[in-house]
Structure 1
Amino acid sequence: MRGVSDRFLKTLRGSHSAVFRARVCTSFQTGTNPTGTEIPILPGSDVQCASTADIRATLNLTTSASWPRRAGDLLAPYGNEIYVERGLSYGNGQTEFVGLGYFRINAPEQEETPNGPVEISGADRMAGIKDARFLTPRQFASSLTRGQLVSTLITEVYPSAVIEWDDTGVRDAAVGRTVLADRERFDTLRDLVTSLGKVGYFDHRGVFVVRTPPDVSGAPAWTIDAGANGVLVKMSRAITREGIYNVVVASGEATDTTPPVWAAVADLSPSSPTRYGGRFGPVPRFYSSPFITTTDQARSAASVLLRKSLGLPYQVALQSIANPALEPDDVLKVRYPSGTRSLSLKTEAHIIDTVTIPLDEETPVSLRTRKQYGEQIGDVTE
């Protein structure tokens, strides 16, 4: 969860006044207070973030700002970004904003010409990485450090980009083998990060972050509850086995003299309905990367991919009073009535897969989560 004050979280549970801000930035900036031109935000706007999407965050914004008639106008889709925030006004002149990210303007539309509202779709900075395919196949030397390779892939597109790693030892180790990349810059970046057991994305500050995903059995970041002082508005749920796997096999590539390294990691939690070896049955997923050069790397990559599936059969859609600090992969405590006539509340732990933050006061935040059964994963063989 993004950093906010205790006062912010406490205020969300009572009567409060939400505030919103969108600034168009005409130069590349990083941080939570960029220089830009503020534009109005009309109801129906939102920011959606998804943990499994290639582009983690997208923007749908409706504004009364002027239609872009020239290439240099603010809302023209030629490189300008919109920095978006949602926050609270405390009634004493103080406000606390939560940054939601930088979004490249992709497509302004106007249904009612010439003076109607302008609808803008935007995407975070990963969209630029996906667009910037290599002009010719690229070869990267084995002596490059992982940090140098990530920096090359990012800064060729965004020369002023800031990159943060949660582990400098992983960052400063050599790639270990020569890698040939065909056309896709984004695929090369994602492949490298995944092979390290990490995730990589542009966060709300515009920083490219490389980190280990949060432990799904960690402490809850926020409680969504029914009843007095609760924030739960609506809840629906579904159970499915479509697209679920309970064991991941990750491998490297063979050389002329050695077979590929590999590791298989499975869901072994006794409380998990998709437990490997249980009645759910074995459902493997396979992943291969030239960046995987050791068994430990293969195990880390397999663990990251498996964590994205833990708990998936039980999916919940939630609507609650908007907390703009929530992010994908946050752990939630969800408390809801255990029965139609019951006053008692059932408590479950959930992991956020997607979160939609509205940019108006009337719309609740929408979340898609999966129930947490407790993590216990480990190596398996045939």
Structure 2
Amino acid sequence: MGWPLSIEAQQAIAGSFVMDVKCTVYSPIYGVLEDLPISGGQVDSDATSQVRRTGQITADPRFWNRSPGQLLSPFGSAVQIYYGIGLRSGDFEYVPLAYLSIDESSRERPVDGGADIPVKLVDFSQRVAEDRFDAPTQTVDGATAVAEIARLVRDTLGPGIALVDLTGSTQIAPVIEIERERWADGVEKLADAIAGEAFFDQINRLTVRPQPTLADPPAWSIRTGPGGNLLRITDTLSRDGVYNRFIASGQRSDGAEPVYAVSTDTDPASPTYWGGPFGKKSRFMTSPLLTDEDQCQAAADAQRERGRGVSASISMKVVVNPALADGDVLDVQDDDAGRSLQIIDKLSTPLEPETEQSIVTRAITLPSES
């Protein structure tokens, strides 16, 4: 889910611009440091990973932890990272990249001097996943799936975690037993049941949204040629992880026949058309949260949409746009391969100037030939 930019910032990133980075550190013991000096790093976003946002910063050696409770300690400190876009006015527009928990800090130094401190960062889904249940726990009877996702997260991180629900779902979550894994068997399964996904956004809001599709409006245009922002591109074709039929079914404990639904790639123009040259390759998902055929169909359709076209994966190096996020749709205009819409799966944004942004996308079809 990309971040909105002003018209001035959009104009700036269309050409050459000055960048800046700000890091605000929040420590439960030390307090708040508004502007941590750093010399580099990056923020990564991966829609295929449970921990969606990770990062690394290289901090000033003056801030090395001399005790577990200090500023860059992995025992409760967090960092909000902003990417600044230099505007024509001389001001900066700061775009939040991620709010991340400190996972590890280390240093290697000569005995007679200091050295920069590499700090590894993860988003707060990692903290939720680490909070495993002592004993099997049931979902709340009569609560919606979205409400249960929020409850599972807030029980770990506290009631102050904001919820952004973009699904509008009012589907009641059936009572299920979560044996141990709060995130994988609770949050993710509940999101799958409403054909959605759950993650923490750039400012640490718990976000529940429908699975992104190519029907979503493009967030940015990327193009080759004079004045273009596409610097390098690599096309990869693979059958790995590609399916053309998805079967979603419910689990029943009362002996009744389980409900199920099938979603198949029936587009004859698709390279993964069921029964076409690609062949037939099915993927199954089973969840106790799927209690009727409509829910099964929605879940199967969402999984098919998510998995369509991953055989046409494209890696790009582009001029940095810090407002982009995984799940955004790109309008890619390539003088050699033609024009196509693609969804961002992975994104890496550098925290130093004159470094390219890395994007990995998936597309429904291969870009058309010119």
Give the counterpart letter for 1:200 in structure 2: A
Distance 2:360 2:51 in 1: 17
Q: CA RMSD in A?
A: 1.9
Give the counterpart letter for 2:128 in structure 1: I
For the 8 Å contact 1:23–1:82, the answer to whether it is kept is yes
Q: How does 1:1-20 map to 2 (within 5 A)?
A: 1-20=2-21
User: Match for residue 183 of structure 1?
Assistant: 180
Q: How does 1:224-243 map to 2 (within 5 A)?
A: 224-243=222-241
Shift of 1:35: 5.9
Residue ranges of structure 1 left out of the alignment (5+ in a row): 29-33, 339-344, 375-382
Distance 2:6 2:266 in 1: 38
User: Match for residue 365 of structure 1?
Assistant: 357
User: Match for residue 21 of structure 1?
Assistant: 22
Shift of 1:195: 0.9
Q: Name the SS of the counterpart of 1:299 in structure 2.
A: helix
2:104 pairs with 104, 107, 113, which one?
Answer: 107
Deviations along 1:140-189, one digit per CA (max 9) or x if unpaired, are 24323324322320111111211121244x24x4223x211111001211
Distance 1:220 1:115 in 2: 46
Question: Does structure 1 residue 83 correspond to structure 2 residue 80?
Answer: yes
For the 8 Å contact 1:348–1:372, the answer to whether it is kept is no
Q: How does 1:38-77 map to 2 (within 5 A)?
A: 38-43=35-40, 45-65=41-61, 66-77=63-74
Q: Name the SS of the counterpart of 2:156 in structure 1.
A: coil
Q: In 2 relative to 1, CA 243–148 (structure 1 residues): closer, same or farther, beyond 3 Å? A: closer
Q: Name the SS of the counterpart of 2:325 in structure 1.
A: coil
Size of the alignment, in residue pairs?
A: 359
Distance 2:338 2:351 in 1: 31
User: Match for residue 248 of structure 2?
Assistant: 250
For the 8 Å contact 1:134–1:185, the answer to whether it is kept is yes
Question: Does structure 1 residue 349 correspond to structure 2 residue 341?
Answer: yes
Shift of 1:273: 0.4
Q: Name the SS of the counterpart of 1:38 in structure 2.
A: coil
Q: Which runs of 4+ in 1 moved over 4 A?
A: none
Give the counterpart letter for 1:361 in structure 2: P
User: Match for residue 205 of structure 2?
Assistant: 207
Distance 1:68 1:37 in 2: 18
Distance 1:367 1:304 in 2: 23
Distance 2:308 2:219 in 1: 18
Give the counterpart letter for 1:215 in structure 2: T
Q: In 2 relative to 1, CA 333–167 (structure 1 residues): closer, same or farther, beyond 3 Å? A: closer
Distance 2:67 2:73 in 1: 7
Question: Does structure 1 residue 323 correspond to structure 2 residue 321?
Answer: yes
Q: In 2 relative to 1, CA 317–147 (structure 1 residues): closer, same or farther, beyond 3 Å? A: closer
Give the counterpart letter for 2:119 in structure 1: I
Give the counterpart letter for 2:361 in structure 1: T
For the 8 Å contact 1:217–1:372, the answer to whether it is kept is no
Shift of 1:257: 4.5
TM-score, normalised to structure 2, is 0.92
Q: Name the SS of the counterpart of 1:308 in structure 2.
A: helix
Distance 2:290 2:357 in 1: 39
Q: Name the SS of the counterpart of 1:39 in structure 2.
A: coil
Q: Name the SS of the counterpart of 1:221 in structure 2.
A: strand
Distance 1:17 1:148 in 2: 43
1:304 pairs with 286, 297, 302, which one?
Answer: 302
For the 8 Å contact 1:134–1:183, the answer to whether it is kept is yes
For the 8 Å contact 1:251–1:262, the answer to whether it is kept is yes
For the 8 Å contact 1:138–1:182, the answer to whether it is kept is yes
Distance 2:360 2:218 in 1: 16
User: Match for residue 129 of structure 2?
Assistant: 130
Shift of 1:349: 1.9
Distance 2:217 2:70 in 1: 46
For the 8 Å contact 2:332–2:342, the answer to whether it is kept is yes
Q: Name the SS of the counterpart of 1:151 in structure 2.
A: helix
User: Match for residue 165 of structure 2?
Assistant: 165
Q: Return 355-364 or 270-279, whichever deviates more.
A: 270-279
For the 8 Å contact 2:312–2:365, the answer to whether it is kept is no
For the 8 Å contact 1:142–1:179, the answer to whether it is kept is no
For the 8 Å contact 1:351–1:372, the answer to whether it is kept is no
Give the counterpart letter for 2:38 in structure 1: I
Distance 1:335 1:363 in 2: 22
For the 8 Å contact 2:313–2:362, the answer to whether it is kept is yes
Deviations along 1:6-46, one digit per CA (max 9) or x if unpaired, are 22122112221011111111259xxxxx9643212213x10
Deviations along 1:262-314, one digit per CA (max 9) or x if unpaired, are 11111222321011121111111110111111111111111222122111111
Question: Does structure 1 residue 280 correspond to structure 2 residue 278?
Answer: yes
